[in-house]
């Protein structure tokens, strides 16, 4: 029996990109899934596909906007009883919008990125941690970014949000040091997902051009190894904690 078999895994932002791919990877490993995001119809489709391919695992969809603290607080109580004991949380929900210089970036972009990437991640973690502490087991996996370790022009707010994720992961590591609860931060480089288009205000042509310009048009999410890396970190023995992993496409530079 694999280490992830039968574990209950909650993935936020499971309706697309890295979160969706991650759900499929955990399903292959035999984990039960709680898939959360705002777009419920996408989650429904994903649940159907996973259930068809892996009939022995439990898959539960949960419509959730991580920015809505009251709803996040009800997360555990809204789960079926056999999925309430969450073993692994992948805090993946996140976005980038309205990239611009600090003096121009709109308050809508500031609020959306900080509310989702930072406050949403904190709310979900606060909702799950009591269960993990009570059971004295669990693994929190936060999806940060290389933007959490570097900065670039026009990316100030997004980078600030991902630096905050890094700070939260490191603080959790210290605060949970006397418990068996593990904390891992995964920092992906560029992954071609819908995120890449949102980043360019929904302009796919601009996005494609940018990726071509960087000579990374050769790869896309199909070849991305981030979800596999998340599952790798989750599947280490209980006494091993991988604190962080940075994963780049080889030609990102």
| Catalytic annotation, residues | 158, 162
Q: Does 12 bind ligand NDP (CB under 6 A)?
A: yes
Q: Does 19 bind ligand NDP (CB under 6 A)?
A: yes
Query: Which pair of structure tokens corresponds to residue 103?
Result: 């003096």
Rounded to 5°, the CA angle 78-142-170 comes to 120
CB of 45 to ligand NDP, least distance (A): 12
Q: Which is nearer to ligand NDP, 39 or 133 (CB)?
A: 39
Q: Is 62 helix (H, G, I), strand (E, B) or coil?
A: strand
Query: What are the residues facing 90 on neighbouring strands?
Result: 11, 141
Query: What are the residues facing 61 on neighbouring strands?
Result: 35
| Distance from C-alpha of 145 to C-alpha of 147, rounded to nearest angstrom | 5
Q: Does 122 bind ligand NDP (CB under 6 A)?
A: no
CB of 175 to ligand NDP, least distance (A): 22
CB of 115 to ligand NDP, least distance (A): 7
**Residue 13 · residue 230 · CB < 8 Å:** no
CB of 120 to ligand NDP, least distance (A): 6
Q: Does 116 bind ligand NDP (CB under 6 A)?
A: yes
Q: Which is nearer to ligand NDP, 82 or 215 (CB)?
A: 215
Q: Is 128 helix (H, G, I), strand (E, B) or coil?
A: helix
Residue from 10, 18, 160, 183 binding ligand NDP (CB under 6 A): 18
Binding mask 184-203 for ligand NDP (x = CB under 6 A): ----x-xx-xxxx-x-----
Residue from 4, 23, 59, 66 binding ligand NDP (CB under 6 A): 66
Other CB atoms within a 10 A radius of the CB of residue 167 amount to: 13
Residue from 7, 17, 75, 235 binding ligand NDP (CB under 6 A): 17
Number of residues that bind ligand NDP (CB under 6 A): 31
| Distance from C-alpha of 100 to C-alpha of 114, rounded to nearest angstrom | 15
Which residues, 6+ apart, have CB-to-CB distance to 100 below 8 Å? 106, 109, 154
Q: Is 112 helix (H, G, I), strand (E, B) or coil?
A: helix
- Single out the residue of 29, 65, 77, 69 nearest to residue 50, CA to CA: 29
Angle between helices 17-28 and 226-234 (to 10 degrees): 50
Q: Is 242 helix (H, G, I), strand (E, B) or coil?
A: coil
Q: Does 39 bind ligand NDP (CB under 6 A)?
A: yes
Binding mask 210-249 for ligand NDP (x = CB under 6 A): ----------------------------------------
Q: Which is nearer to ligand NDP, 39 or 135 (CB)?
A: 39
Q: Which is nearer to ligand NDP, 65 or 100 (CB)?
A: 65
**Residue 207 · residue 197 · CB < 8 Å:** yes
Residues that bind ligand NDP (CB under 6 A): 12-19, 37-39, 64-67, 92-95, 116, 120, 143, 145, 188, 190-191, 193-196, 198
């Amino acid at each position: 029996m694999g280490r992830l078999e039968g574990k209950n895994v909650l993935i936020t932002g499971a309706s697309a990109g890295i979160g969706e791919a991650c759900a499929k990877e955990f399903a292959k490993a035999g984990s039960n899934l709680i898939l959360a995001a705002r777009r419920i119809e996408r989650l429904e489709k994903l649940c159907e596909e996973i259930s068809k391919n892996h009939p022995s695992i439990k898959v539960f969809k949960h419509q959730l906007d991580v920015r809505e603290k009251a709803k996040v607080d009800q997360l555990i109580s809204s789960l079926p009883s056999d999925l309430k004991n969450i073993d692994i949380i992948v805090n993946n929900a996140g976005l980038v919008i309205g990239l611009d210089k600090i003096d121009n970036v709109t308050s809508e972009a500031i609020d959306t990125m900080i509310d989702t990437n930072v406050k949403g991640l904190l709310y979900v973690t606060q909702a799950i941690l009591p269960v993990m502490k009570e059971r004295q087991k669990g693994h929190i996996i936060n999806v940060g970014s290389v933007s959490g370790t570097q900065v670039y022009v026009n990316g100030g707010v997004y980078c600030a949000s991902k630096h905050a994720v890094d700070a939260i992961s490191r603080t959790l590591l210290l605060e949970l040091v006397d418990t068996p609860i593990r904390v891992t931060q995964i920092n992906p480089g560029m992954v071609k997902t819908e995120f890449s288009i949102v980043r360019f205000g929904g302009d796919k042509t601009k996005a494609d051009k940018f990726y071509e310009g960087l000579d990374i048009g050769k790869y896309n999410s199909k070849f991305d190894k981030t979800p596999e890396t998340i599952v790798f970190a989750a599947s280490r023995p209980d006494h091993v904690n991988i604190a962080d992993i940075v994963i780049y496409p080889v030609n990102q530079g």
